[in-house]
Amino acid sequence: MRRPAALAIGLVLAAATAGCGAGKVEDSAQRARLETIRQATAGFKNVDAAVAAGYRPVPQCLESDNDSGALGLTYVNLRLNQDQQVQLLRPELLFYEQRATGAPVLAGVGYLVPDDGQRPPDTPLGHLDGPIPGVGPGQPDRFEMHAWVHRKNPDGPLATWNPNVKCL
C-alpha cells in the first residue's frame, strides 16, 4: 500500500477509534489557548499557504460512519509528525470543510504523535487520545487530539468529530 493511502486509511481509523476528546472547555485559560491557536493558524485559511508550509492533502474527505460529523479534507505535515512533540502553534493536521463552490474553509487543527509505548502525551489542552492502531504497512500506532478553532463545534472545541463540518 502506498504511504499516502495508508495514512488516509489510518486517519479514518484514528477518527473512528479515538475517544470523544475533552469536548467542552469551561476553563478561561483553555479558551485563551484555543484563541491563540486560532490566531496562529489563521494564515492557513488559504489552502495554498498550507501546501507551501509543507502540508499535504489526504486523498478523501473524512466523515464518521455514524453521522456524528466529519473531519473534512485533511492536510498532514509529515515533517512535524516526525518530531514526537506537540507544539500547539504548529499542528500536524489541518481540517478543511469542502464547499460546493469556492475554496475549502479551514475548520480546525489536529495534533498527532506516533506511539512508541509511552503514556498519552500531555499538552496544555489535556492529553491526546490513544493509542490508536496504525493501519497498513509501516504505519505506527499514534495519539491524536483535534481542536475546532476555526469552525464552531456543538460537541465542544476538542471533540473528535465536528457535526457542523460536511463532506460533499
Per residue in 153-166, pLDDT (tens digit) is: 999 999 999 999 99
**What does each C-alpha distance from 24 to 27, 48, 70, 101, 156 come to in angstroms?**
9, 31, 17, 32, 4
Q: Which tens digit of pLDDT belongs to each residue from 128-148? A: 999 988 766 777 888 999 999
Q: Which of 136, 93, 117 is nearest to 5 (CA)?
A: 136
- Name the burial class of residue 165, with classes exposed (0-12), middle (13-18) and buried (19+) by CB atoms within 10 angstroms of its CB: buried
Enumerate the domain spans of the chain. Answer: 3-147
**Contact by Cβ (8 Å): 120, 21:** no
pTM of the model: 0.84
Q: Which tens digit of pLDDT belongs to each residue from 29-86? A: 999 999 999 999 999 999 999 999 999 998 889 999 898 999 999 999 988 987 788 9
- Mark out the alpha helices in 1-69 (DSSP H runs): 3-17, 28-41, 47-52
CA R_g for the chain:
14
Query: Which residue is it, cell 500500500?
Result: 1
Q: Which tens digit of pLDDT belongs to each residue from 82-129? A: 778 899 999 999 999 999 998 999 999 999 999 988 888 889 999 899
3 state DSSP class of 63 = strand
Q: Which residues contact 15 (CB under 8 A, 6 or more apart)?
A: 62, 64, 71, 160, 161
